[in-house]
Chains A and B, each alone.
Chain A
Amino acid sequence: MKAVSPITVFLAAAVVSFCTAPSAAENSAACLACHGDATLQDASGHSIAVDGSKFHSSIHGSLDCTNCHVSIKGYPHPDKVTPVQCSTCHADEASGLAGSVHADGAQQCTNCHGSAHAIYPKTDPRSTVYPLNIPRTCGSCHGKDGLAGKHGLPSVYPHYLDSIHGMALSKEGLLVAANCQSCHGSHHILSHTNPESPTYKTNIPKTCGSCHAGITASYKSGVHGKTLAAGNLKAPVCTDCHTAHAIVEPTEAEFRNQSTPICGSCHKEQFFTYRDTFHSQLGALGGYVETARCWDCHRAHDILPASDPASTVAPRNLVKTCGRCHADANASFVQYQPHANAYNRKLSPGLYYIRLFMNLLLVSVLTFFLIHTILWLIRSRYHQVKENAAEGEKDA
């Protein structure tokens, strides 16, 4: 540890004593006479150096050191000083933080805002809370090896980075791309289980809708939106289909290929019957991205029941809906049942009996010939061995 030299102490004392009405800059200059030394450490080895030029360019650069370090009244000051209370000025933020998921005592303003003497306004690219820097700042804890992981929280940062929001932010540098605080807020971050949280299920359409206003309006007009509005929490919101952090471009192969099981996780019967169709078989093979997925026919947001004349799957709209892929679709063609159940006699009797006939044919033909052929094999082999033995005797 480097000791404070007597000359520095003298100079500092001289500055403090001769300037009776010092300006903030002058005052901080006096402090920096000691603390400007980049190697300065306290008794326990922590750096107590301050980079004067950085500090002066920071948002707090015009303040006097003692505005924050209130326990220091003059020089020399005691070794132990009371901790800085940001809340003295930033009362609203402090009270927000106090009621948030981060209010566990361990969190300090500087965890997110960076070095206390180099805090910049959030519009400054040097700021840790500049929109393009926020994901990295939050990710330092909410990443794979971050502090959040130790508390059993999911690692969301890598998901976000690969998502369409993360790409827009990191690749394109889009300031309007959603970053962590766009959805979670900043100081008063609440758990998604808290009804006041912007990430609480019923609040999610509004949260996403703050950017995606058109889609949200469309969602609200569909069955999912209406069901949610009626108070049924089983209805999916944006994140149930798009996920919260790993959101991908929905027209991309990656999303198309994974989308049907998402709908199927609630619509089990429909998913089961869909999987029996050519649409699904093509889709499962991976190569054919264009094949019809749930939302190609039912739409994604303004989904309406077939009984609603405005629905894409209402009988009178089917030629148009199917015609989006099948250019020569006609009224008879659209009688095809995309969710026919060959095992349901009441719903699809024709199909049921044809399926039953084909199954019985398959089972009976194979069973008969398996028995026939196995017996034949055994008998032929027995016959062959016997003849060979007889021939062997004859030759001998």
Chain B
Amino acid sequence: MPDQENSANGAAMEHHGQTRYIARFTRAQRTLHAVLFSTFLGLAATGLPLRFSESFWARKFAAIMGGFGAILAFHKLCAVILTLAFLIHVKDLFTRAFLRHEKGIFWGSGSMVANWKDVKDLVGHFRWFVGLGPRPRFGRYAYWEKFDYWAVFWGMMVIGFSGYAMWFAPFFAHFLPGWALNAVLVVHSEEGLLAILFIFSIHFVNTHLRPDSFPMDMVIFTGVESEEEFKTKRPLEYEKLVSQNKLAQRMAEPPALWYTNFSRSVGFAAIAIGLLLLVLTLSAYFS
């Protein structure tokens, strides 16, 4: 496989003349992320004008997208797609954990569930930030990645529930107290705002814009990472693969150039839209 290196990945070849690639995300996981970020951008872009309806840009912004009716229709469309993606993900987890009795879904190095090591990593990371210790060695999922995952998971349930409660208010009113109809708007808009601020600033920087990944971590698009990068970013997982002789299993084809370029343009467009929405949000919030 290393011999299959070709000029398409010339940039990655600089050090050893040949770069090996390791698979990190499956096609399903990458598709889930793509559906998540595109519907999230759509939801943010159509939700913000409502949240900050009195800001100087809201009305123009809404008009550009075809007025309020178009905004709401688009918001609901994105919501339904995202809900389906979320349900498929939950169903998938359920199948893997309870039907196929797959191990490591809820516990272990490959799990998204936080464990004691994450706490130690968090503290260790802070110590490294201020020069009090070595850089923690991360495994398959680092603590901030788990936080991202659970933040989205929690957000999906909270924003999703409150959104549907508003969409079908008279129906939800059968089993919710009256004031809950007031609360769902507060919850929906505050949690939405938190998601927007978090994703467009913290997630962007942590995952894509920090020096180690700048300007974009392509692994969520291509699914593969160069061995070098993998070794630096996830030393524990790498060592485990080596010690268990599983490295060969995880070796992958380098991504095609056209696919990398395509993903890069989609990714940059998403980041640009996200940053624009962040600027609009902050301008509305502080004016």
Contacts and interface: CB of A to CB of B under 8 A. Distances in A.
B140 interface: no
Contacts of B131: 379
B33 interface: no
B179 A284 contact: no
Contacts of A277: 182, 185
Interface in A262-313: 275, 277-278, 280-288
A212 interface: no
A186 to B, nearest CB: 44
B211 A380 contact: yes
Contacts of B210: 373, 376-377, 380
A381 B187 contact: no
Given A332-B178, A350-B179, A350-B180, A375 B63 contact: no
A281 B198 contact: no
A286 B179 CA distance: 27
A127 B211 CA distance: 84
Interface string B113-156: 00000000000011011110001000000001000000100000
Given A287-B63, A362-B193, A377-B205, A340 B212 contact: no
A288 B211 contact: no
Interface in B248-267: none
Contacts of B59: 284-286
Contacts of B173: 330, 332-333, 335-336
Contact of B170 (A275, A328, A342): A328
A229 to B, nearest CB: 35
Contacts of A381: 211
Interface string A358-369: 110110011001
A328 B167 CA distance: 12
Contacts of B71: 285, 287
B120 to A, nearest CB: 15
Contact of B194 (A282, A365, A373, A380): A365
Given A285-B53, A285-B58, A285-B59, A369 B180 contact: no
Interface residues of A, number: 48
Contacts of A378: 129
B174 A366 contact: no
Interface string A338-359: 0010100000101100110011
B185 A278 contact: yes
Contacts of A358: 186-187, 190-191, 194
B67 A287 contact: yes
Contact of A335 (B181, B186, B191): B181
Contact of A282 (B68, B135, B183): B68
A210 B49 CA distance: 45
A387 to B, nearest CB: 10
Contacts of A362: 190, 193-194, 197
B2 interface: no
B142 to A, nearest CB: 11
Given A329-B170, A330-B174, A333-B170, A275 B62 contact: no
Q: Which DSSP category, helix, strand, loop or mixed, fits chain B's interface?
A: helix
Contact of A379 (B128, B191, B198, B206): B128
A330 B50 CA distance: 26
Given A337-B179, A350-B180, A284 B53 contact: yes
A370 interface: yes
A18 to B, nearest CB: 82
Contacts of A330: 170, 173-174
Q: Which DSSP category, helix, strand, loop or mixed, fits chain A's interface?
A: helix
A326 interface: yes
Contacts of B185: 277-278
A326 B59 CA distance: 25
A372 interface: yes
A281 B62 contact: no
A376 B69 CA distance: 43
By CB atoms of chain A within 10 A, which of B135, B166, B182, B202 has the most?
B182
B51 interface: yes
B68 A348 contact: no
A277 to B, nearest CB: 7
Contacts of A334: 178
B69 to A, nearest CB: 7
B88 interface: no
A330 B202 CA distance: 43
Contact of A284 (B54, B67, B170): B54
B170 A377 contact: no
The 7 closest A-B pairs by CB, nearest first: A335-B178, A287-B68, A287-B67, A358-B190, A284-B53, A333-B173, A375-B129
Interface of A: 275, 277-278, 280-288, 326, 328-330, 332-337, 340, 342, 348, 350-351, 354-355, 358-359, 361-362, 365-366, 369-370, 372-373, 375-381, 383-384
8 contacts: A284-B59, A286-B62, A333-B173, A333-B178, A351-B182, A362-B190, A370-B202, A380-B211
Interface of B: 49-51, 53-54, 58-59, 62-63, 67-69, 71, 125-126, 128-131, 135, 144, 151, 166, 169-171, 173-174, 176-183, 185-187, 190-191, 193-194, 197-198, 201-202, 205-206, 210-212
